[in-house]
Structure 1
């Protein structure tokens, strides 16, 4: 370690840390008013009780509504395709570890989770009864009995820990619909099925299933999973992830080039750490007794009790199309043209074409989901306008990532290292450390002495670490608040750089990006009510899994 380099910039104990990263564009305000009343009130309640950003709560509520809608309605197809198109959605929400993602998801999916648990309990009991009756039988008698008393199909519709192959097998064997729903999105996006040699086939299968509900697999005859084709299935994906765990995925050209990521609605709000204050009165208020959430849960149960349009013999999902009114079509055409107007060489979506090109389709799907939840017979202009507003939000978030400027890689690594050091799993151990310990037990990216020295020097210069000899370091107590914001910026900038590498972009320098300019028929839009300022308030996975440790660390190290 170069002691002279580090001691030249020794940090007085009282000196506040300086930002490691340049300022980036703030997150887009989440359009809470674009949600139907009951969903909007549920989001506001989740924000208050769980102290999460409205964007996280909103994505969870939309995820739950999509799970319910995908077997009950189809989206309108602008080319007149018979039967319309699936209303299934893919959603990705990026937010920090331990900041309320799982809690928000639990409230949004409460009735769905409970119904799933009850159905699976009855399924296990039915299977146990059949197995118990057949327990004393042998040979042909047992075979005949089991043939006459077939086991019921597994009613599972939510998968939190899955891979594409078994899920495709479920569809081929007859499962009509499912949601891949997890608050460990990094495990899904960084899992084995998306890293193996078959990643291209996996992505192709997921995008094909999203587009028209078709799942196909060809395997050897000896393979227990077998081969086959399933038509008109429904798959929604709802991912909540730590930004650092999906950074590597966003650097994969295949993810963008094949259109997989472009099918996701994105939310990436800032951390609320340091703002989530509570009171004794707030502790006395139960989220489960909140009338806003009770109304939302009651509506979820009403939708769940309505008929699903599933053909019993084939398992195909064939719901009616939720048709748009003339005004809704006019709004959608305006939105589609609005996006198209920004796809030219100087347009704000010039570097975001794969994502922007999906915006109009996502608006139609969202309109069907919102309409189903509201119980309307036709999609009116207001419903379509609200769906378009939610897609604008997603595109703005994707654009914010790709708009970030170039950042010194060492400072980016420094911001990541501070996040790693302050992780609750290791904060006590790494409050003070020796440079050699970092080289032996720290992230793999820090084990090179050359890289380690540069990063440590940067952290000392910016007063995030204190040192007297250039060998022994301790965290600056004043750095904690700054680190939280730095981590959010670092993750956003990393995603930006990765997307820049793989998106279909042109190197065009403009003095300033134009703001969203909506066409007349779509700009009237939504009132910017007080509820949209919920970012100022103390601002998912069927069965939430424990936080990953080694796996998450490996993904972080690879991302560096």
Structure 2
């Protein structure tokens, strides 16, 4: 568990004899492979099928599949909480970073197919019923019309999905009686950069979202003249599935308020590497139809089966009051090992010392993910296998947050400068923008350079890093060598313990008899975990503890400049 020395970002050189462009970005670690093998088999098969047919990154497909399962689970089960007998919501906030053109929408469409169809049918029926009532009411006038509408009230809107929305209408619908919702968009900038988090409302919005995540409570206080009015709603459910381009939310990811106040740490997070340039089509691929893939058909059938099962919504109040999922003794031991591991690594020299706010949420997120998995697998309790899988998903998220920590992220201007160069060099416009005037860029360039101040700042950065050439700071030309100098990649540091660590630690934590339902995990999952593991899976518990102690000593020596 060696902790890599903090990497620094390249600075422009003043040497006149070296005219090659400098890399704008330096990745502290390469994007870690998404732990697809950690998903339960049915979900894993569906995610692999989506990634195959759409030709999209595994992380996109995996997150969309988890998002669909969360939508179904949040009104049917609660996640277990070690301090609350009635548990906590199993709703998840999820954020996935992917570039434009990485096919975020198509991944989401296949994962949510059964859910979207049910939502569409419910809303069509709702509009039909409203039209029938209103058409009869329109034949009446005055008091008779009022009495008719009182005796025949309009049905409640069954809407549960929001895409192009802000937090305000979701709060309003919850106060008016809605029970559960999924805020689901492939334009994540709408939340992080839109009206919901603008300066005059961001604190209240962040507070409202965190309260919704923690307990399902919604509240709004308004002046009496406000049309929406005040109100409150308890025991509701809200899940969030955001797919966003890195450049659109780079500023939000480094915002101290969003990070330290606990909003971002509630998100299950991953990022992707684009497959653009490798997504070739063949006659065989064009013949393969996603709708005919048995892996997706089985996934959609399970979604429909769960949709047909009863929810735990109180008709009179709209409150969602499901029972908490139980943990087997072995699952509890796995969770304890994971919780204690992430707690230890939050220490001053720990791997997660720079992301304590995120690591402190890991135990809670693992229980929520495990409850979602158990619901989708139609199990009555969370066993060792499902908890271990959940811990792997959460650990991946935590590792991704570590990559995006303030100490290791490049500045916003470097991120935007790199995005601008990528835009200038895209084949569809490369010929036109090999040479250009800054005013033309301000009029026709990407949105973040439309303001003259930011445009000039980014052009200055690109000139200093020698990606652009200019003699008068007005007319610019792309450096001939700029095609190969976008990033400098650094190999990933070693991983903190994975699935086999949890198994070793769990065995030393609990002496409970083995659970016949969850005593082992698939060979594929073990192999995936062991490949990342710093301590051999065959080591004894005492060897693992000894290795951990040595690793801690090595980190101390590293910081003291010994290594």
Tell me which interval the TM-score lies in, with the shorter structure as reference length: 0.7 to 0.9
State the SS of the aligned residue for 1:317. coil
| Closer, same or farther: CA 355–145 of 1 in aligned 2, 3 Å | same
**Deviation for aligned residue 1:253:** 2.1
Partners of 2:455 and 2:125 lie apart in 1 by 58
Alignment partner for residue 106 of structure 1, among 106, 109, 119? 109
Query: What aligned pairs does 1:24-103 form with structure 2 within 5 A after superposition?
Result: 24-79=28-83, 81-103=84-106
| Superposed CA RMSD | 3.2
Alignment of 1:110-125 (within 5 A): 110-125=113-128
- How far did residue 101 of structure 1 move? 0.6
- SS of the residue corresponding to residue 88 of structure 2 reads coil
Matches within 5 A, 1:66-215: 66-79=70-83, 81-215=84-218
SS in structure 2 of the partner of residue 91 of structure 1: strand
| Closer/same/farther in 2, CA of residues 370 and 471 from structure 1, 3 Å limit | same
Kindly state the Cα deviation for residue 430 of structure 1 after the two structures are TM-superposed.
Answer: 3.2
The residue number in structure 1 matching 2:377 is: 374
Deviates more, 1:445-454 or 1:309-318: 445-454
User: Shift of the alpha carbon at 1:421?
Assistant: 2.7
Change in CA separation of 1:115 and 1:424 when aligned onto 2, cut-off 3 Å: farther
- CA drift of 1:353 comes to 0.8
Q: Is the 8 A contact 2:250 2:415 kept in 1?
A: no
CA spacing shift, 1:92–1:431, aligned 2, 3 Å: same
Distance 1:376 1:341, change over 3 A: same
Cα offset for 1:451? 3.5
Higher normalized contact order (CA 8 Å, seq sep 6+, divided by chain length)? 1
Q: 1:51 Cα shift?
A: 1.1
Q: Give the secondary structure class of the aligned counterpart of 1:178.
A: strand
Inter-CA distance 447–214: structure 2 relative to 1 (3 Å threshold): closer
Retained in 2: the 8 A contact 1:56–1:104? yes
Is 244-253 or 260-269 further displaced after alignment? 244-253
State the SS of the aligned residue for 2:296: helix
Name the CA shift for 1:302/1:141 in 2 (closer, same or farther; >3 Å): same
Runs of 5+ in structure 1 lacking a partner? 494-511, 534-560
User: How many Å separate the matches in 1 of 2:371 and 2:207?
Assistant: 25
Deviation of residue 276 (structure 1)?
1.8
| Counterpart in the other structure of 2:461 | 455
| Contact 1:386–1:526 (CA under 8 A) maintained in structure 2 | no
**1:515 corresponding residue in structure 2:** 495
TM-score, scaled relative to structure 1: 0.81
Structure 2: how far apart are the matches of 1:393 and 1:48? 22
- 22-31 or 41-50, larger mean C-alpha shift: 22-31
Inter-CA distance 440–371: structure 2 relative to 1 (3 Å threshold): closer
Give the whole-Å Cα distance in 1 for the aligned partners of 2:455 and 2:202: 34
Q: Provide closer, same or farther for how the CA distance between residues 90 and 97 of structure 1 changes in structure 2, counting only shifts above 3 A.
A: same
Judged with a 3 Å threshold, the aligned counterparts in structure 2 of structure 1 residues 163 and 336 are, in CA distance, closer, same or farther, namely same
Per the normalisation by structure 2, the TM-score is: 0.81
Secondary structure of the 1:22 match is: strand
| Equivalent-residue separation in structure 1 for 2:72 and 2:313 (angstroms) | 13
- Indicate how the Cα distance of structure 1 residues 398 and 74 shifts in structure 2: closer, same or farther if over 3 A, else same: same
1:242 paired with 2:245, answer yes
1:128-182 C-alpha deviation (Å, 9 max, x unpaired)? 1111111222111111111111110000000002222221111111111001000
Give runs of aligned pairs for residues 129-528 of structure 1, distance below 5 A: 129-402=132-405, 405=408, 412-422=415-425, 430-438=433-441, 442=445, 443-444=449-450, 447=453, 451=457, 454-458=460-464, 461-462=466-467, 465=468, 472-475=475-478, 515-517=495-497, 518-519=501-502, 520-521=504-505, 527=523
Count of aligned pairs between the two proteins: 496
Distance 2:505 2:32 in 1: 22
Equivalent residues of 2:24, 2:485 under 8 A apart: no
